Structure 1
Amino acid sequence: MHRPILIAIDGAPHSRTLLDAAVGIARPDRHVLHVLMAVDVAYALPREGAFERREYPAASEEDRHARHALVVALAHLHALGFTADGALVAGDPAPVILAEARRIDCELIVMGHRHLSRFGRLLDPSISAEVLDHSPCPVLVARCPA
């Protein structure tokens, strides 16, 4: 039986570090890799009804970037012989990651951590800390450039 490993990426260049960390642990005959890209709701395109992409330029660019990052990540994992799927979900990253981990009943969450100062943490709370505090499974946190 294949057990899921959830890889939470944000589309930054260090996302490859997270994929490589998961590949270093996972086995193609034992794991399916699930790549998750959480998009802030402020930048998520409306999914209901018709709209013009030009009406939402920032959201359109964020959506394009997120979809591209997901496609690139999945192509990389498939090229390495892994079964992999992905999801693009709108919402605050930590709750989205935790909900997806529970939904797929994953064995492990792989995510990044940026080193920020205490002041930086006040302005930008730690997503990895919140996931660690509430995760239903082990979490591998890889240090990523700030």
Structure 2
Amino acid sequence: MSSSSLPAEYLARFSDLQPLYPNSDALSRLFSSHVCVIGVGGAGSWVVELLARSGVGRLTLVDADDVCVSNTNRLVLALTSTVGEFKTDVLRDRVLNINPHASVHVLHECVKEDNVHQIITADRCIGVLTFSL
């Protein structure tokens, strides 16, 4: 797909990114890219935000958790109005507000040994996991 065949609204939103990439078909490649983000909490929510603002066309968001009031200090998606909602659902809506041409698939589950191969089908997968010491 060439840049000229991209939706006009997509080009209006993301054409300012073109000079950042030496490859002339960078916007087309971003538009057709699929990235899976596993864990959309403190770091993952910001990763998704940046991917959306970079024009990535397909995202798979994986997280079984909902937004808690204690998330407010570190999650881009944590607002009074989103407490109790699935993190992935809130981020899907946010991504679509940034890029209405994006395709966002959400999975409300944890990644385990028996489902990892079904979940990770993207071009790139970013695992943003947290743990306690």
TM-score tier (shorter) = 0.3 to 0.5
**When the two structures are superposed, what TM-score results if normalisation uses the length of structure 2?**
0.46
